[in-house]
Structure 1
Amino acid sequence: MIAAAPAALLLLLSLTRLPDMVIAAAAIALLATVTGAFHEDGLGDIADGFGGGATQLRKLEIMKDSRIGAFAAVAIGLALALRIGLLAAIVAMDPWSAVTAFLAAAAVSRTLPLWIWTLLPAARVDGLAASLGAPGRVSTALASLAAIVVACMVLPYFGVGQLMAALGVAALATLMLGRIARRQIGGQTGDVLGAAQQVAEIGFFAGLLL
């Protein structure tokens, strides 16, 4: 699991006197390094495209541009601040609760975008998501069930209500992003899926703290 090493780092640093914010930032930074910041890049691309393009075609063109614009910088910065701040709040509660929340969020936030991939049409025929082909609804449902099972690891530290809230907020955030993508560019792309992971992770952390 790609979140295993960052979770181990989080637990190790929690044994030191480093501030909770620094511990959370280190874990998030290592996770971004492990994934190649793929999801952060997707968030930045759709922020630039949706914010700077006047037409659907222009939005898609901007999203393919590797340069980071003002909208991307703000979106990525805000997402990082939210992820680090929320995780730090959980670290302050208990290091082990933070480890389980981190692993659960990683599983859930990487599964929810599959529903966007499955249910929305590809916005461009030559995109990565289109070339790979959307997963079937049955496989997506099974992956979601597996993610929920993984998410249950937080139950020793959070109540059932908090877990349900986390899953609900993460799902709602993903749904909202999917609706925005459909309205803006007519469907989904790899960038949209990456951005969905980011908002789902933020939603999961926030839901646990409600």
Structure 2
Amino acid sequence: MKRELNVFLTAIMFYTRLPCPGWVGHEDSLLNQSTRYLPVVGWVVGCIAAFTFLAGNILFGPSLGILLSMVTSVITTGAFHEDGFADTCDGFGGGWTKERILEIMKDSRVGTYGVVGLILLLGTKFLSLQPLVSLSTSQPLVLILLFVMAHSLSRFVACTFIFTHPYVRLSESKVKPVAQAVERYNLYIGATFALVPLLALSVATLKPALLLLLFPLFVLKLYLGNYFSKWIGGYTGDCLGATQQVSEVLIYLTSILLWKFT
């Protein structure tokens, strides 16, 4: 039981900036196994973002509430996934060979593609959250489940690459321990953690059609998988971050449509 707690806290320590007890280990094996808890990290980040919005909405109104929730989620994760998205935009936007793409993605500097990509991504996220929170502001539980579902499910989509595609990043990457072979049961555990908030949201809203948002996520995974494989032969840690961010935005956009037309 203590080891399992250690694995979970390792996930918290690696994927967020939240403080963890000093006895939590830094072993590569623990980080490797912590993949199954990545959707639970989404629960934590989603709850923080949701409660920040609820407080910000009361104090400043919905628009500032959304902005503050986004700021809080970025601070909580240390912009871990946003950084991966920006690097992916720079790498695939500016590189034309596998070697060049990987070289650009490794560069700590952010280029034009990354800046423009982040502006468009964050702007879309902000604007897509506005109609969603207006539909659920009077139902705090629904709003919390919405945030938790989006953060959890998007992280699960990203971590599926570990089980379906080869890792191609250079040996010194900090994500390398995560990308090593992981037993498939971790995928099933992660899927369970990811689906629970979605199922709870569909029940709370009496909208089982919300389950349909799994389909565009599946299509997105196939598209990104083919795209990454075509250009670099697999995925990198930055690709995982980009997948999480794009999946989160797609969840919000699809939820708007399903909420309106079902």
TM-score, length-scaled by structure 1: 0.92
Partner of 1:9: 52
Partner Cα separation in structure 2 for residue 125 and residue 138 of structure 1: 27
Q: Measure, in 2, the Cα distance between the counterparts of 1:49 and 1:16.
A: 41
Structure with max Cα Rg: 2
Q: Contact 1:10 / 1:99 at 8 angstroms: preserved in 2?
A: no
**Contact 1:170–1:201, Cα closer than 8 Å, also in 2:** no
Instruction: Return the match for 1:137 from 166, 170, 184.
Output: 184
State the partner residue of 1:159: 207
Distance 1:134 1:87, change over 3 A: farther
Which residue is equivalent to 1:170? 217
Contact 2:86–2:115 (Cα < 8 Å) also in 1: yes
- 1:121 is paired with a residue whose SS is coil
Determine the C-alpha separation between the residues in 2 that align with 1:61 and 1:87: 35
| Large movers: runs of 4+ above 6 Å | none
Contact 1:42 1:193 in 2 (8 A): yes
CA distance, structure 1, for counterparts of residue 60 and residue 109 of structure 2: 38
Tell me the equivalent position of 2:196: 149
The 8 Å contact of residues 21 and 85 in structure 1, kept in 2 or not, is answered as no
Separation in structure 1 between the aligned mates of residue 183 and residue 122 of structure 2, nearest angstrom: 32
Q: Does 1:188 align with 2:230?
A: no
Give the corresponding residue for 2:150. Answer: 105
TM-score (norm: length of structure 2): 0.74
Q: Deviations over 1:100-156 (max 9, x none)?
A: 211111110111111112111011241333333143322112211221012223122
C-alpha RMSD of matched pairs (Å) = 1.6
* Gap runs ≥5 in structure 2: 1-43, 258-262
Q: Is the 8 A contact 2:56 2:65 kept in 1?
A: yes
AA partner of residue 57 (structure 2): S
Q: Percent identity?
A: 30
CA contact (8 A) 2:46 2:144 kept: no
| Equivalent-residue separation in structure 2 for 1:190 and 1:104 (angstroms) | 22
Corresponding residue SS for 1:193:
helix
